[in-house]
Structure 1
Amino acid sequence: MEQTYGYIRVSSVDQNEIRQRIALEQQAIPPDRIFMDKMSGKDFHRPQYQAMLKKLRPGDLLCITSIDRLGRNYEEILEQWRVLTREKRVDILVLDMPLLDTRRDKNLLGTFIADLVLQVLSFVAQNERENIRNRQAEGIAAAKQRGVRFGHEPRPLPPNFPETYVLWTEGVISTSEAAKRSGMARSTFRTRAESFKKDCP
């Protein structure tokens, strides 16, 4: 007997878990057949997705809310679609794009239309992600040009740092000794010394 499954993927910054779950429950999918992975954008290890793949049988239906739940990029989405529809021989329903319902029009034309729509949507999804990353990078670069600092403010230099810095630059004390007197690691001392040099008139 064919079963219907649902898959949810959310990242650490994605707040759509509840929306996705409600949408899948509206398809009358029982909770024990809804699989969910939580992960960051960089880590795409998906244990629940793999567990779901093992349960899927030919003729089953997989529901997802949007096409980008299947992968991080254009190539991965197309690969997972191929695995599901051709290797696993399951149907897929993409809730926010009714054209992507492999139960409809199973003739050659229907398959062609579904594949064409899938490729266009996958490309658009990846292109939008890349545009977002580019806008973020441009925003950070513009902020840095305006003097905006990112990350934690560095700790204030110890009162004896100028004296220690002079002794170190003149070779009177070693880097290890200078770092010890400044209460910091050698690598930190070198970094702070470089910044101190730039700030000195």
Structure 2
Amino acid sequence: MSTFRTATHRKQLQAVGATDDNTVIERFHGKIPEREEYQRLKNHWLKPGDTLVIYDLEALGGKRSARQELQYYREHDIHVKIVNIPTTTIDHLDNPEISNMILDTVISTLDYVISHEIERTKKHQTQGVDRIRDKPAWNNYGRPQIQLPANYDEVMQRWTRGDITAAAAMGLTGLSRTTFYRLAHQYKNGGIGV
């Protein structure tokens, strides 16, 4: 698959073996499953031993989906050349193991970047929580606690006896399905007393 927006991209793709007759051009958006041309290319055209040339790793979506796509191609013996990662564009026809090793390195690098971003995000979240913990804003932090309706105990007793359905109990209490069942579980286990 080749995606290009300018003549420069086209020339760069051609320099590593892409030709106009075997180029798929698709408007880029991040959701891989919704990309019809890409899915056709991946699932019907590419066969083991073929080479996929893309201009940019982002053509395979975000980091996580790009990692999954590269892993798929690695497992299906499809070589991938990424123009803006020059080491992937070198032909190793005499030794395909080198191409596989380079692709494995790209996948490992993506694994590292993804895990590093997750750690950094968690660290920033923890720091943000720690900063407001001793401030008045802490009292309003998080999801507000659910206020039980005045008729909750009566309705729950009727529901647990089987006098009314869960749907009727939800309607009488005004609780959403998820909230109703979460509170019902606590109610049955003695976690909620009204």
Q: Deviations over 1:88-113 (max 9, x none)?
A: xxxx53122212114x45433xx444
Count of residue pairs the alignment pairs up: 163
Q: Deviations over 1:126-183 (max 9, x none)?
A: 2322333454456667778966436xx68x758xx23x134346x4x43646544323
Q: Equivalent of 1:62, from 44, 53, 57?
A: 53
Q: Gapped runs of 5+ residues in structure 2?
A: 15-19, 61-65
Task: Show the counterpart of 2:37.
Answer: 48
- Structure 1: which amino acid aligns with 2:2? G
Q: Distance in 2 between matches of 1:64 and 1:35?
A: 12
Tell me the distance in 2 between the aligned counterparts of 1:131 and 1:76: 23
Which letter does structure 2 place at the counterpart of 1:79?
E
Q: CA RMSD in A?
A: 4.9
Higher strand share: 1
Unaligned runs of 5+ in 1: 8-19, 86-91
Instruction: Give the equivalent residue in structure 1 for 2:94.
Output: 107
Alignment of 1:136-175 (within 5 A): 136=121, 148-149=141-142, 157=147, 161-162=149-150, 164-168=151-155, 171=157, 173-174=158-159
Equivalence for 2:116: 131
What is the aligned-residue identity percentage? Answer: 14
Q: Judging by fraction of residues, say which structure has more helix.
A: 2
Give the distance between the partners of 1:189 and 1:128, measured in 2 at CA: 40
